Structure 1
Amino acid sequence: MKKVLVVLTNVTRYPGTKDATGLWLGEATEFVEEMLKANIEVDYVSPKGGFVPLDPRSMKYADESIMQIYETADFQKRALASSLSPNQVNASDYAAIYYTGGHGVMWDFPDNKELQQIALAIYKNNGFISAVCHGMAGLVNIKDDNGNYLIAGKAITGFTTTEEVLAGKKSVVPFLNKEIAEQRGAHFKKQRAYSEFAVQDGHIITGQNPFSVRAVAKLLIKSMSNHIQ
């Protein structure tokens, strides 16, 4: 079975502020744990490659399972210290791409053409595009060969406006996930704030919030197992 490419942010703080952001740790580690249990290898990429910062707020939610992956030499080196840059990635090596969240991704995921090309190549090769929480920012500007938004007509989810308000970041973020998804023609789905929710529409799998990581991972594993790689 082919590998899964995990996408991480390089953004260290909310632009124009002193407030730190970065990868929401559990959105990477919980996904990776599920992949490892299914004997699926992962690689890590970020828009710039190299160092990946952690959102300090995510550490407050780091339970034992999150810490076990976080403390491995493999994760610390390949994910946090020396993530791949997009030009080091061969899309044909992967059965799926997974966009992690953390608010930082809203600034460096949407307009990265190289990551868009990688995702589209995986998708066109019968692979899967997946994301959780703010990671859906990586999907919003991907266009197909006809110039249409890939998520147009698709059911997707992501961090909701209500959750943004509860997180205290509604006035800081560059866009609201529901609004931009609907502008692109997607059908934005949601459930109660901070409850587990994942939705699959064909080869696109998305999760609403940090509590939806494992649900996304399990849908992806099931879908991958149903396809001959």
Structure 2
Amino acid sequence: MKILFVLTSHDELGNTGNKTGFWIEEFANPYYKLLDKNVDITVATPKGGKAPIDPSSDTEDTQTEDTVRFKKDDAAQKVINNTEVLSKMNPKDFDAVFYPGGHGPLWDLSKDEDSIKLIETFNKAKKPIGFVCHAPAALKNVKAENGEPLVKDKKVTGFTNTEEEAVQLTEVVPFLVEDMLKENGGIYSKAGDWEEYAIVDGNLITGQNPASSGMVAQKLFEMLK
């Protein structure tokens, strides 16, 4: 079983002067959940090389069993510091694709042509495509085979407007995930803020927030079994 993880290359949090990137927990939990089931994982980013970590996901109060394991795991550190270049990835080599979140994807993966084409190819092949938290941003410009937005008439979730308000970045981000999914015709639903929530519609799996990353990975794995 081979799964491609796609992370952001973007590390600037708008015009704030602060850094962003991918959210450690949203990578680490699914990574180990799948790795421990002997899944072969490849990690790619638009630019290749070192994937930027969102500093907000590396504070004491965001630590979990998986993030602690990740920090002590030399092999995983090597993977994150030497990601593959997304444009060189062939969807035929993988059984599924998974996008961890963090605010970075709002800026790069939402409009990255290689990412868009990759998701469209996976979808056409009916292979599982999973996204968590801010990662559904990568679906913004993805089309279904009929030319409509991929999420149109599909049950989806993603980081909520109220969660974005809670982290005080509503005015910083280029768009709100919840609004974008609704504008693209998605049938959006959510649980309470910060609660675990993931939803499946066909081969599309979306999770609401960092707490939902493991659930998305589990559903992805079950779809492949």
Normalising by structure 2, what TM-score?
0.95
Partner amino acid, structure 1, of 2:69:
Q
Query: How far did 1:63 drift?
Result: 2.2
Counterpart residue number, 1:27: 26
Unaligned ranges ≥5, structure 1: none
| Structure 1 residues 12-61: Cα deviation after superposition (integer angstroms, max 9, x where no partner) | 12122211111110100101011012221111111111121111111121
Q: Distance in 1 between matches of 2:72 and 2:122?
A: 30
| Number of residue-to-residue matches in the alignment | 223
Counterpart residue number, 2:69: 68
Normalising by structure 1, what TM-score?
0.93
User: In percent, how many aligned pairs have the same letter?
Assistant: 34
The RMSD of aligned alpha carbons is 1.2
Query: How far did 1:117 drift?
Result: 1.2
Query: How far did 1:9 drift?
Result: 1.1
Partner amino acid, structure 1, of 2:4:
L
Query: How far did 1:64 drift?
Result: 3.0
Q: Does 1:18 align with 2:7?
A: no
1:175-214 aligned within 5 A: 175-214=175-214
Q: Distance in 2 between matches of 1:51 and 1:200?
A: 31
Query: How far did 1:74 drift?
Result: 2.3
Unaligned ranges ≥5, structure 2: none
| 1:6 match: secondary structure | strand
Counterpart residue number, 2:42: 43
Query: How far did 1:148 drift?
Result: 1.4
1:81-96 aligned within 5 A: 81-96=81-96
Counterpart residue number, 2:56: 57
Q: Does 1:169 align with 2:169?
A: yes
Q: Distance in 2 between matches of 1:87 and 1:175?
A: 25
Q: Distance in 2 between matches of 1:67 and 1:142?
A: 34
- On the 8 A contact 1:24/1:100 being kept in 2, the answer is yes
Partner amino acid, structure 2, of 1:223:
M
